[in-house]
């Protein structure tokens, strides 16, 4: 299944006195660029979570945000007064800098916002219960599942667009045939007319041999056959494999070689316009492939 590198997943785990929230976002990148924001309370599980995300994400710029908040009464939960004060002071400074009036009416909303920020609410317990760690990992797995579903949905849209462009390249390649035959006759007649205009006697058989040799160098049959094979292989790979972004990119490069060679041999205005059309479609394919996992 083709997947996009763009994805988003969110999951929550609700415990007796705590709610854990996990958000995972991913964008396209050549390699895996994993960034994690984990509360100090769960720092002991960061390595395991990082490995779990890396195995599922494979590639892309992936950001993982983990947060938690207290629910109801929780004797093991306390406020980090220093962090609370720092956040509140920064909010007050930002309000003043932007010309907003800071007054008592804003205090409840500001305090509620600060309480949701990282490391303000802390768990005083030194050991995290196993069920809480299991809930955290479960939330991470659920968020990854949702990100995967998002990626698959985006991937289906992308591959449909890519295959449509492959079809258009094939149609343009096939449309070259009548102009290719007409071009051969045009070149042959032009050579004969130029020689006749010079008034020089030539050996007809030798002239025919030379023209055949010259026209063979302009023949694009081999390039069209290879281009067709690349188009077929592009479809085959997109149907049968996963994580094929790089592989499809290599196939697109080979398609570009054949299209460029075909253009250099065209020597006919309409054929060259069709080659430009194929190049345009191929460039759009290459751009889209940057988003394929």
Sign of CA dihedral 267, 272, 278, 283: positive
User: What confidence score (pLDDT) does residue 95 get?
Assistant: 80
Whether 62 is covered by a domain: the verdict is: no
- For residue 129, count other CB atoms closer than 10 A to its CB: 11
Q: Do 252 and 286 touch, CB atoms closer than 8 A?
A: yes
User: What confidence score (pLDDT) does residue 69 get?
Assistant: 84
By residue range, what is the domain housing residue 213?
157-289
Question: Within 13 A of 168's CA, how many CA atoms are on the CB side?
Answer: 18
Q: Which two tokens stand for residue 9?
A: 């997943």
Whether 226 is covered by a domain: the verdict is: yes
- By the 10 Å C-beta count (0-12 exposed, 13-18 middle, 19+ buried), 104 is classed as exposed
User: What confidence score (pLDDT) does residue 212 get?
Assistant: 62
Query: What secondary structure letter does DSSP report for 3?
Result: -
Question: pLDDT 10s digit of each residue in the chain, 293 long?
Answer: 889 999 999 999 998 888 999 999 999 998 999 999 998 888 889 999 999 999 999 999 999 999 988 776 555 557 778 888 888 888 888 888 887 777 776 777 888 888 778 777 765 555 788 899 999 999 999 999 999 999 999 999 999 999 999 999 999 999 988 887 777 667 766 766 666 677 777 766 766 666 665 656 677 888 999 999 999 999 999 988 778 899 999 999 999 999 999 988 887 788 889 999 999 999 999 999 999 98
Q: pTM, whole model, 2 decimals?
A: 0.71
User: What confidence score (pLDDT) does residue 92 get?
Assistant: 83
User: What confidence score (pLDDT) does residue 77 get?
Assistant: 59
User: What confidence score (pLDDT) does residue 267 get?
Assistant: 76
Give DSSP secondary structure letters for 150-218. HHHHHHHHHHHHHHHHHHHHHHHHHHHHHHHHHHHHHHHHHHHHHHHHHT----HHHHHHHHHHHHHHT
User: What confidence score (pLDDT) does residue 239 get?
Assistant: 86
How many domains does the chain divide into?
Answer: 1
Whether 161 is covered by a domain: the verdict is: yes
Whether 47 is covered by a domain: the verdict is: no
Whether 77 is covered by a domain: the verdict is: no
Whether 243 is covered by a domain: the verdict is: yes
User: What confidence score (pLDDT) does residue 126 get?
Assistant: 53
Whether 255 is covered by a domain: the verdict is: yes
User: What confidence score (pLDDT) does residue 211 get?
Assistant: 65
Whether 121 is covered by a domain: the verdict is: no
């Amino acid at each position: 299944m083709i997947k996009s590198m763009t994805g988003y997943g969110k999951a929550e785990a609700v415990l007796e006195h705590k709610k854990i929230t996990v958000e995972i976002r991913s964008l396209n990148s050549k390699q895996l660029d994993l960034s994690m924001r984990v509360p100090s309370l769960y720092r002991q599980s960061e390595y395991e979570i990082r490995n779990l995300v890396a195995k599922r994400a494979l590639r892309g710029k992936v950001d993982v945000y983990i947060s938690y908040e207290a629910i109801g009464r929780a004797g093991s939960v306390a406020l980090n007064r220093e962090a609370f004060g720092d956040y509140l002071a920064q909010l007050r400074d930002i309000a003043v800098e932007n010309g907003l009036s800071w007054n008592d009416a804003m205090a409840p909303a500001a305090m509620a916002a600060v309480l949701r920020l990282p490391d303000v609410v802390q768990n005083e317990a030194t050991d995290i219960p196993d069920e809480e760690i299991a809930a955290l990992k479960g939330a991470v797995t659920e968020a990854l599942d949702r990100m995967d579903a998002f990626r698959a949905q985006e991937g289906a849209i992308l591959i449909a667009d890519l295959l449509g462009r492959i079809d258009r390249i094939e149609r343009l390649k096939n449309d070259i045939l009548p102009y290719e035959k007409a071009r051969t006759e045009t070149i042959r007649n032009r050579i004969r007319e130029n020689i006749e205009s010079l008034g020089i006697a030539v050996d007809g058989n030798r002239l025919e041999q030379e023209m055949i040799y010259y026209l063979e160098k302009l023949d694009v049959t081999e390039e069209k056959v290879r281009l067709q094979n690349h188009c077929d292989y592009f479809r085959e790979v997109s149907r049968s494999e996963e994580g094929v972004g790089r592989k499809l990119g290599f196939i697109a490069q080979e398609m570009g070689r054949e299209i460029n060679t075909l253009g250099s041999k065209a020597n006919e205005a309409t054929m060259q316009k069709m080659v430009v059309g194929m190049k345009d479609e191929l460039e759009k394919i290459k751009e889209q492939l940057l988003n394929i996992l």
